[in-house]
Amino acid sequence: MKLLPIFAAGALALSAAPAFAFGLGDVAGAATGILVDGKVIVGANYGTLGAGGELGYKLNDFFAVRGVHSTGLTYDSSFTYDGQDVDYSLGAQGSGLMVDYHPFGGGMRLSGGLWKTDIGADFGSVYTVSSQGESRDFTISGDLSLPSTAPSATIGWHGGLGDRITIGAEFGAIMTGGASLTTAIDGDYSGLTDSQRAEIESEVDARRTEFEDQVNEYTDYLNFYPVAQVGVTFRF
């Protein structure tokens, strides 16, 4: 089955996170000076939530808090299911509050927090339905939305370019807990006899059920939204 490319890329990045982070564990442990200079943290990043920024404050050598915001990411494509083309548009953006724990007092961090997000997808497919010599086109559309508030957990590492500038990466997930689907039908029934209308409505309803089954196959992958990003921070 085809999977939305952005989820696939994020999932691969997520699966690589532990190896990445702990592979740099020795470096992070030795770099205790990275977080010494500067209490205020200002950063920019890019990843599976698009371009974003963050503003944080270092409480001590082991803890910091960050407010984060992502401007959003969109992706348009299509897939074929049982010979029927289905177009979709995926969008994701949001803001969150994160607490960072630096177990070695250095660049490695474990983070947890809460996000307010707008993550979802729109689907649409055009069906031609016929009855007694009459053919009509109907568009069946679907709106797949994820919960707007969800917890997040990530692991990351930042290395110093100087006393105040660091670059790094962060991997993890926003635990959305699933998605809900609503569908709609747009078409013209005018000029049909009662028997034609009844037959076409029955066929359109059957198509709608098939469409919902198609889209719902993707909801199994939406219990989390992957977080994978790289960024730079400045501390002062």
Percent of the chain surpassing pLDDT 90: 36
Number of domains in the chain: 1
The stretch 196-209 carries a mean pLDDT of 89
Say if residues 216 and 141 touch (Cβ distance below 8 Å). no
Confidence of residue 37 (pLDDT cuts 50, 70, 90): low
**What are the pLDDT digits (tens) for 44-83?**
999 999 999 999 999 988 999 999 999 988 889 988 877 7
Strand 225-235 versus strand 40-47 pairing type: antiparallel
Q: Which of 179, 161, 177, 158 is nearest to 231 (CA)?
A: 158
Give the domain range for residue 112: 5-235
Say if residues 100 and 81 touch (Cβ distance below 8 Å). no
Confidence of residue 236 (pLDDT cuts 50, 70, 90): confident
- Output the pLDDT for position 133: 83
Q: Which of 219, 90, 91, 109 is nearest to 171 (CA)?
A: 109
The stretch 212-224 carries a mean pLDDT of 78
CATH of residue 27: 2.40.160
- Output the pLDDT for position 26: 37
Write the DSSP assignment of 105-144 as a string of letters.
SSSEEEEEEEEEEEEEEEEEEEEEEEETTEEEEEEEEEEE
